[in-house]
Amino acid sequence: MWDRENMAARVAELVAAQVREFAGGYYRVPVGISARHIHLTREDVEALFGPGHRLTPMKPLSQPGQFACEEQVELVGPRSSIARVRVLGPERPASQVELSGTDCLKLGIDAPVRTSGQLSGTPGITVKGPVGVLELSAGLIIADRHIHMTPEDAGWFGVEDGERVSVRVGGPRGGLMGQVVIRVSEKGRLDFHVDTDDANAFRLKQGQLLELVKEGTR
């Protein structure tokens, strides 16, 4: 199964090499569309799926070491619920639910736009698993737009970790997406993550190359 991850890594390396060719005078980044999902702690995995349960990898994701799991949960809000929400691995120090604004409206919860891991002051939600029910007191966010990259990529693009940039989309529903945070890591893999609301609004496709625009260079 993890041979697929090695293949995905090689494809990502080739894409990054093409992106760094500075074709047509633009700095481009590939799109990764992120659907609703949940990250869980070891304790919360056991609360939802039973004592000793371990997450079952289904397929690797774009970032090294991260994977979609076979496990799914139901999210329950004041207004309605959403079933079959995918769990992503590996386990984390804090459980975190990432939804789109449309999802939050359906559930009846007002969630803030946050960078992953910044959970102070965020609302909670009820999570139902096949074995148990979990009442999260916090952890529900709308993930901000962000670009994963390596230090090598950051040097080539001329950006720093935590810097905010914009991304330009062409086509009939094109426009400029601002407040995109740069996330630099040795284990990063070049990918521009947006949620399904942004993807639908701009008619984006998985892997589509978009132009990174630094402040003052629009």
Q: Where are the domains of the chain?
A: 28-32+145-214, 35-143
pLDDT (mean) for 130-157: 97
Residue whose token pair is 């400029």: 176
Pair of tokens at residue 31: 């799109």
The stretches of the chain forming alpha helices (DSSP H) are 3-19, 42-49, 101-107, 151-157, 196-202
CATH topology of domain 28-32+145-214: Barwin-like endoglucanases (2.40.40)
Calpha distance 38→44 (Å, rounded): 11
Three-state DSSP state, 156: helix
State residue 22's pLDDT score: 45
Confidence (pTM): 0.86
Altogether, the residues listed in the chain come to a count of: 218
Condensed to tens digits (0 to 9), the pLDDT of residues 151-204 reads 999 999 999 999 999 999 998 989 999 999 999 999 999 999 999 999 999 999
| Nearest residue to 177 via CA among 124, 134, 113 | 113
| Nearest residue to 101 via CA among 68, 145, 66 | 145
Pair of tokens at residue 33: 């569309």
Calpha distance 125→213 (Å, rounded): 36
